């Protein structure tokens, strides 16, 4: 019988079992863990806390006479006897070639050529249902063609093998090894056993072990399957398996399967595999109360592993649809049928059989008019919904002669549209909602074009080259991106927003990066691309074995943090980096294995017209071991330990470390709490250890040193390592109303909780006095003080909240006693040790100045009043009060905004008061604006022009302004066309934000204030030749500011590390000329939020 692309043949004979540990087969059978029979010689591992078995069936007959001979050794180079070695062939279809399922959200960048989108490279998180079906059906299962056991000297012989690519596996209780892509006959294969991946855990469901759970593991690289069965306690053990990428499927009748992706840096979760009861969802599609047949219903949900899945169903003659095998989750249901649509969100729990009604209503349409800048219609413009899902069908339409269009019907996920027309810039339109028919007036801006052809060094067309134009454009058309890709003949057309000089950048891994000056409009441009030197190489481990899927990058020797090319090694450890400019470089390889990032680098020189070859070999490294214990000294099982090399701290780097490691992999402790980390360098390493409901305590750990950032640093091999973890204390209780009814939704210390019975649990590492702050709709906030024991739990029982009382008051002008209308009143609740205020209510005062705040606590709350033209008021109130609040008038400011010719400019104004976390914003219409009331103090005021007639946006330098205690203030912004050029040299400074401020800016006192200085208030006027700092990040060694006004200025740097540090220094700017200044930061710490 053929099923899923494999043949199953019932073989009669003796099944040879390999017992990886010294246990009898009969013992496993007595426990109900039988072995599978398959002509594919699938491995079957029988689950037990101390048992691993592999079943092999009768192997296929002799092949072409091809043989493989070799030796299996351990990591010390000593031969290993008794290792089972097998040869496996891969046959189509292959799991690695699976496409993304239809409906996958498109998040990847367009790629050159017709490259198919693959599940394992583009949408792993979307492939759950597809993989469950694939593995359950044993699709593409690779056959084991021959199998042997190593002799006393570690040698083996595999004979009778067919032609074609083979992989060779060596499996033993001491480790595992694999070589892929073998062709022909080999007489001297050498397989080095590594510890490998050990998949050991418990299969559970509904918080109880699930004996008999079937576990299937597939190797993504080779399509080899391994099977196991959980024992009477739900325990299983599969492996060790060679390092690589695997998918584990756990299944049992009556339960929804669990699917987990595994590799060297994503190990089995601490809780093993978790199965859930499959839930059903039934429903009907109706139109005006009548059943609709043939409607396609799409179901979208996230499972417990946070993977997204889609299911589809078609309604029957009664309009009914059915979905089964669902998890407890939030489900999205949608349908689009005959111009009608429906969308519902369902919270699915154990209510099996609950019915959902999808009532069809006329589907929304997107309509309107497309016009040009002169408000004239643009006929023939294309309006299309942007494709956001793989395999989806999306509508498009052309505008009529009057410029009008109507696009639809639209589904729930169609809210992004592109509008384009010949001779105009493309415009992106986003609708917040498509639940109703939308109408819009879309203005297209005139464009000029650049056309031409890209060719290689031989004059042949260069297709698929990404082209980008670099220059500031009209802010009124912010969504246009000056980008294009050459077609099959190498031709391209770029739309530009204004005439003049531009820089055209070409990026393609086949050619050297090119940046050439061009003038728009222009045609018949010829872009000649050079095919510079390429770098080929291999990556191997310390034994010379190929290392697949290592991350490779290359960078200039003086710019090691700025990689110019990236690649990944293949199954043979080979890689190729595209065209690179001749010069001196550093090429690096990285591979994370069980919590340790292995790294190797090599200097090399690339020369014009030459191909270079490099061999990268990971060093052996140092092996360290240790133990993880609880605060009381007991060994802790199941903790995951990771190490990452502490980067050297140079003088110009902030005094902090950026933790850089991959996934949640690591070395997991056994029952004795012990762990082993392999392949560490001799440099100091930062150690991390994690376990659910536990917190690492570096200060109590031994074998290393704790730095000021609470990072635990160890020097491999110097001292025994003892890591201490403290169990989190848990506080449990039930939140009820005054009448005793459960409160199902509430906020606990700022974290949102949903619980039908009002039950909650709060974990904390803090012992002693702790405050729990609760907030719920219709209730006054309340705080409870609790004494928390070290590593202890507290049952708080029932906690009650009440609606509280109202606060009704009035706002008056302090000088005239006139009522103040439209003031914003914000009420905040503060709770003991929580440390942060939480927003409770916000209202606006009435025309007579009155206001009412509801559900106010009897404990004092903070009231903040903001009114245009008045100073901010801050005070405290309690429930039941009737306050009369008098506001003092502020200082009025008159602002004018002009270009360099004196013409008024429409602009947005931001008033940043020193120490404030929010700016006042005004719009200067026709170049004028008036702020009715500023509080006294120092401000930074910024003006951002909206647009100008020629499409260029005038630039204005921020101004430092002192607001006095009274009177009126005048601020005049004039377009900045003259001034000095400030060039800041920042060698070796990375991961930081850089800004330049006119005037003397005081040092920030909080992280929030520092972020606002770095990102919101700086002098941002980058000329066309300046470093691109769109995110205000100093990414290159030089940052240039043009047309900086004369006078004092402040340079501000904020590190991107945690915790944050800053550097501040002052410069005196001349009226003209250029200042070149080298930054040598003196990093200062910022207080943490808790401080």
How much is the average pLDDT of 70-86?
A: 94
- pLDDT of the residue at 749: 87
How much is the average pLDDT of 958-982?
A: 87
Could you report the per-residue pLDDT of 200-209, keeping only the tens digit for each?
A: 999 999 889 9
Which has more pLDDT, 988 or 812? 812
Residues 999 and 1062 in one domain: yes
Length of the chain: 1091
Cα dist from 185 to 52, 67, 165, 376, whole Å? 32, 6, 11, 75
Whole-number Å distance between alpha carbons of 758 and 256 = 28
- pLDDT of the residue at 398: 94
Is residue 598 included in any domain, yes or no? no
Is residue 7 included in any domain, yes or no? yes
How much is the average pLDDT of 217-245?
A: 94
Contact 1080, 652 (CB under 8 A): yes
How much is the average pLDDT of 787-800?
A: 92
Q: What is the DSSP string of 451-508?
A: EEEEE-TTS-B-TT-EEEEES---TTSTT---EEE--TTSEEEEEESSSEEEEEEEE-
Looking at the chain, the whole-number percentage of residues with pLDDT higher than 90 is 36
Q: How confident is the model at residue 304 (pLDDT cuts 50, 70, 90)?
A: low
- pLDDT of the residue at 428: 82
**Is 60 exceeded by the pLDDT of residue 4?**
no
Lowest mean pLDDT among 36-45, 59-68, 356-365, 886-895: 36-45
Lowest mean pLDDT among 81-90, 360-369, 434-443, 612-621: 434-443
- Point out which residues pair with 283 in neighbouring strands: 321, 356
Is residue 604 included in any domain, yes or no? no
Residues 24 and 167 in one domain: yes
Could you report the per-residue pLDDT of 909-947, keeping only the tens digit for each?
A: 988 887 776 778 888 888 999 887 888 888 889 888 865
Q: How confident is the model at residue 243 (pLDDT cuts 50, 70, 90)?
A: very high
**Bond from prior residue into 1059 cis (ω within 30 degrees of 0):** yes
Whole-number Å distance between alpha carbons of 194 and 209 = 31
How much is the average pLDDT of 878-895?
A: 90
Q: Is the dihedral of CA 237, 239, 245, 249 positive or negative?
A: negative
Contact 488, 444 (CB under 8 A): no
Q: Is the dihedral of CA 1025, 1026, 1027, 1028 positive or negative?
A: negative
Is residue 596 included in any domain, yes or no? no
Tell me the three state secondary structure of residue 699.
helix
Looking at the chain, the whole-number percentage of residues with pLDDT higher than 70 is 80
Q: What is the DSSP string of 896-925?
A: EEE-TTS-B--EEEEEEETT-SS-EEEEEB
Torsion (CA) 722, 723, 726, 728 in degrees, nearest 10: -150
- pLDDT of the residue at 220: 92
Q: What DSSP designation does 511 have?
A: S
Question: What is the residue-averaged pLDDT of the chain?
Answer: 80
Q: Is the dihedral of CA 382, 385, 387, 391 positive or negative?
A: negative
Is residue 267 included in any domain, yes or no? yes
Domain boundary among 331, 362, 393: 362
How much is the average pLDDT of 450-468?
A: 92
**Is 60 exceeded by the pLDDT of residue 654?**
no
**Is 70 exceeded by the pLDDT of residue 486?**
yes
The count of domains in the chain is 10
Q: Rounded to 5 degrees, what are φ and ψ at 844?
A: -120, 140
Whole-number Å distance between alpha carbons of 555 and 577 = 11
Residues 737 and 719 in one domain: no
- pLDDT of the residue at 395: 77
Residues 42 and 60 in one domain: yes
Q: How confident is the model at residue 710 (pLDDT cuts 50, 70, 90)?
A: confident
**Is 70 exceeded by the pLDDT of residue 874?**
yes
Is residue 1090 included in any domain, yes or no? no
**Is 90 exceeded by the pLDDT of residue 973?**
yes
Is residue 599 included in any domain, yes or no? no
Residues 689 and 758 in one domain: no
Q: How confident is the model at residue 405 (pLDDT cuts 50, 70, 90)?
A: very high
Domain boundary among 937, 958, 974: 974
Q: How confident is the model at residue 364 (pLDDT cuts 50, 70, 90)?
A: confident
Q: How confident is the model at residue 649 (pLDDT cuts 50, 70, 90)?
A: very low
Cα dist from 897 to 126, 903, 904, 932, 944, whole Å? 52, 8, 6, 17, 10
Torsion (CA) 907, 912, 918, 921 in degrees, nearest 10: -20
- pLDDT of the residue at 50: 31
CATH number at residue 423: 2.60.40.1120
Residues 16 and 47 in one domain: yes
Q: How confident is the model at residue 290 (pLDDT cuts 50, 70, 90)?
A: very high
Which has more pLDDT, 708 or 160? 160
Q: How confident is the model at residue 23 (pLDDT cuts 50, 70, 90)?
A: very low
CATH number at residue 514: 2.60.40.10
Residues 149 and 27 in one domain: yes
Residues 257 and 126 in one domain: yes
Range of the domain at 693: 622-726
Cα dist from 816 to 795, 887, 889, 933, 1052, whole Å? 56, 10, 10, 16, 44
How much is the average pLDDT of 546-569?
A: 80
Contact 937, 914 (CB under 8 A): yes
- pLDDT of the residue at 120: 78
With tokens 């391209």, the residue in question is 492
Is residue 501 included in any domain, yes or no? yes
Of 915, 827, 913, the residue nearest 874 (C-alpha): 827
Q: What is the DSSP string of 220-261?
A: TTT--EEEEE--TTSEEEEEEE-SS-EEEEEE-TTSB-EEEE
- pLDDT of the residue at 320: 93
Give percent helix, percent strand, percent coil of the chain, each to the nearest 5.
Answer: 5, 50, 45
**516 CB-near residues (< 8 Å, 6+ apart):** 503, 504, 506, 527
With tokens 């009057």, the residue in question is 402
**Is 50 exceeded by the pLDDT of residue 1035?**
no
- pLDDT of the residue at 717: 75
- pLDDT of the residue at 150: 96
**Is 60 exceeded by the pLDDT of residue 1000?**
yes
Of 191, 193, 202, the residue nearest 172 (C-alpha): 193
Q: How confident is the model at residue 656 (pLDDT cuts 50, 70, 90)?
A: very low
How much is the average pLDDT of 559-585?
A: 81
Residues 938 and 834 in one domain: no
Domain boundary among 427, 443, 459: 443
Which has more pLDDT, 815 or 26? 815
Residues 949 and 984 in one domain: no
Residues 828 and 864 in one domain: yes
Q: How confident is the model at residue 19 (pLDDT cuts 50, 70, 90)?
A: very low
- pLDDT of the residue at 739: 93
Lowest mean pLDDT among 40-54, 73-87, 514-528, 773-787: 40-54
Structure tokens at 590: 């990285």
**Is 60 exceeded by the pLDDT of residue 28?**
no
Residues 7 and 105 in one domain: yes
Q: Is the dihedral of CA 228, 230, 232, 233 positive or negative?
A: positive
Which has more pLDDT, 1088 or 936? 936
- pLDDT of the residue at 154: 95
Whole-number Å distance between alpha carbons of 864 and 1075 = 45
How much is the average pLDDT of 412-439?
A: 75
- pLDDT of the residue at 1026: 34
**732 CB-near residues (< 8 Å, 6+ apart):** 759, 760, 761, 762, 793, 794, 795, 796
**205 CB-near residues (< 8 Å, 6+ apart):** 252, 255, 274, 275, 276, 277
Structure tokens at 820: 């103040």
């Amino acid at each position: 019988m053929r099923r899923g692309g494999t043949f199953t043949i019932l073989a009669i004979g003796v099944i040879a079992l390999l017992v990886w540990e010294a246990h009898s087969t009969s013992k496993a059978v007595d426990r109900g863990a039988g072995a599978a029979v398959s002509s594919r010689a699938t491995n079957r591992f029988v689950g037990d806390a101390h048992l691993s078995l592999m079943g092999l069936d009768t192997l296929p007959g002799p092949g072409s006479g091809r043989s493989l001979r070799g030796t299996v050794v351990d990591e010390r180079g000593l031969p290993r006897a008794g290792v089972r070695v097998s040869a496996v062939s891969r046959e189509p279809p292959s799991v690695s070639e699976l496409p993304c399922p239809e409906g996958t959200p498109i998040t990847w960048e367009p790629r050159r050529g017709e490259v198919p989108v693959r599940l394992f490279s583009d949408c792993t998180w979307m492939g759950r249902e597809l993989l469950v079906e694939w593995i359950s059906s044993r699709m593409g299962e690779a056959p084991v063609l021959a199998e042997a056991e190593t002799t006393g000297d570690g040698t083996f012989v595999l004979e009778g093998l067919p032609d074609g690519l083979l992989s060779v596996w060596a499996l033993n209780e001491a480790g595992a090894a694999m070589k892929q892509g073998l062709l022909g006959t080999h007489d001297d294969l050498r397989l080095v056993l590594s510890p490998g991946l050990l998949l050991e855990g418990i299969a559970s469901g509904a918080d109880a072990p699930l004996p008999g759970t079937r576990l299937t593991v597939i190797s993504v690289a080779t399509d080899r399957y391994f099977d196991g069965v959980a024992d009477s306690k739900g325990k299983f053990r599969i492996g060790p398996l060679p390092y690589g990428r695997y998918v584990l499927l756990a299944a049992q009748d009556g339960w929804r399967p669990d699917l987990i992706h595994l590799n060297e840096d994503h190990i089995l979760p601490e809780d093993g595999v978790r199965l859930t009861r499959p839930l059903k969802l039934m429903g009907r599609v109706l139109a005006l109360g009548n059943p609709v047949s043939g409607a396609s219903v799409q179901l979208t949900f996230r499972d417990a592993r946070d993977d997204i899945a889609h299911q589809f169903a078609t309604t029957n003659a009664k309009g009914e649809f059915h979905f089964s095998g669902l998890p407890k989750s939030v489900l999205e249901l949608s349908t689009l049928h005959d111009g009608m649509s429906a969308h519902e969100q369902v919270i699915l729990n154990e209510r099996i059989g609950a019915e959902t009604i999808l009532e069809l209503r006329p589907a929304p349409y997107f309509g309107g008019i497309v016009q040009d800048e002169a408000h004239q219609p643009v006929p023939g413009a294309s309006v299309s919904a942007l494709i956001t899902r793989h395999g989806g069908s999306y509508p498009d339409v052309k505008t009529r002669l009057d410029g009008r269009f109507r696009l639809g019907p639209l589904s729930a996920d169609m809210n992004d549209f592109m509008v384009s027309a010949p001779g105009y810039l493309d415009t992106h339109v986003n609708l917040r909602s498509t639940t109703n028919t939308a109408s819009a007036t879309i203005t297209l801006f005139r464009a000029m074009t650049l056309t031409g052809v890209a060719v290689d060094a031989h004059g042949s067309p260069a297709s698929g080259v990404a082209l980008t134009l670099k220059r500031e454009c009209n802010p009124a058309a912010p969504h246009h991106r000056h980008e294009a890709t050459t077609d099959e003949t190498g031709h391209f057309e770029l739309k530009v927003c204004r005439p003049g000089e531009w820089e055209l950048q070409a990026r393609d891994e086949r050619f050297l990066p090119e940046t050439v000056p061009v003038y728009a409009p222009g045609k018949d441009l010829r872009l000649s691309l050079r095919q510079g030197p390429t770098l080929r190489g291999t990556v191997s481990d310390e034994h010379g074995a190929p290392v697949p899927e290592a991350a490779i990058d290359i960078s200039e020797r003086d710019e090691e943090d700025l990689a110019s090319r990236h690649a990944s090694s293949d199954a043979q450890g080979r890689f190729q980096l595209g065209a690179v400019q001749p010069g001196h470089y550093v090429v690096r390889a990285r591979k994370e294995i069980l919590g340790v990032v292995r790294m190797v680098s090599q200097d090399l020189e690339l020369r014009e017209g030459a191909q270079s070859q490099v061999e990268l070999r990971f060093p052996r490294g140092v092996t360290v071991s240790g133990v993880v214990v609880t605060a009381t000294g007991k060994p802790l099982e199941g903790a995951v330990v990771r190490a990452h090399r502490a980067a050297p701290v140079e003088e110009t780097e902030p005094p902090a470390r950026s933790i850089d490691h991959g996934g949640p992999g690591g070395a997991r402790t056994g029952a004795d709490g012990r762990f082993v980390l392999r392949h560490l360098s001799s440099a100091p390493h930062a150690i991390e250890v994690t376990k659910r409901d536990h917190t690492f305590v570096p200060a109590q750990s031994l074998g290393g040193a704790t730095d000021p950032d609470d990072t635990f640093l160890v020097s491999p091999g110097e001292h025994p390592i003892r890591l201490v973890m403290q169990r989190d204390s848990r506080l449990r209780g039930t939140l009820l109303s005054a009448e005793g009814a459960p409160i199902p939704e509430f906020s606990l210390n700022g974290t949102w909780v949903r619980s039908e019975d009002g039950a909650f649990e709060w974990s904390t590492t803090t012992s002693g006095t702790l405050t729990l702050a609760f907030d719920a709709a219709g209730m006054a906030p309340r705080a409870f003080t609790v004494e928390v024991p070290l590593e202890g739990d507290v049952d708080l029982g029932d906690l009650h909240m009440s609606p509280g009382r109202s606060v009704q008051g009035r706002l008056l002008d302090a000088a005239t006693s006139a009522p103040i209308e439209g003031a914003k009143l914000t009420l905040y609740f503060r709770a003991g040790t929580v440390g942060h205020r939480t927003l409770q209510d916000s209202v606006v005062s009435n025309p007579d100045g009155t206001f009412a705040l509801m559900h106010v606590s009897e404990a004092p709350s903070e009231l903040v009043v903001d009114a245009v033209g008045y100073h901010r008021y801050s005070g405290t109130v309690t429930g039941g009060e009737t306050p009369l609040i008098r506001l003092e008038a502020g200082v009025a400011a008159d602002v004018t905004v002009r270009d360099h010719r004196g013409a008024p400019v429409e602009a947005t104004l931001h008033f940043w008061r020193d120490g404030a976390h929010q700016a006042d914003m005004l719009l200067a219409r026709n170049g004028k604006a008036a702020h009715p009331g500023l509080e006294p103090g120092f401000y930074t005021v910024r003006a951002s022009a909206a647009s100008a007639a020629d499409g260029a946006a005038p630039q204005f330098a921020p101004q430092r302004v002192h607001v006095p205690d009274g009177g009126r203030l005048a601020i005049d912004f004039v377009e900045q066309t003259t001034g000095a050029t400030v060039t800041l040299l920042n060698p070796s400074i990375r991961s930081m934000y850089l800004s330049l401020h006119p005037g003397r800016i005081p040092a920030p006192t909080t992280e929030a204030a520092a972020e606002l200085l770095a990102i919101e208030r700086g002098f941002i006027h980058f000329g066309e030749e300046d470093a691109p700092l769109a995110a205000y990040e100093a990414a290159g060694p030089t940052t240039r500011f043009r047309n900086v006004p004369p006078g004092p200025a402040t340079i501000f740097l904020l590190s991107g590390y945690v915790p944050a540090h800053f550097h501040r220094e002052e410069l005196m700017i001349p009226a003209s000329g250029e200042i070149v200044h080298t930054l040598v930061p003196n990093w200062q710490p910022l207080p943490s939020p808790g401080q």
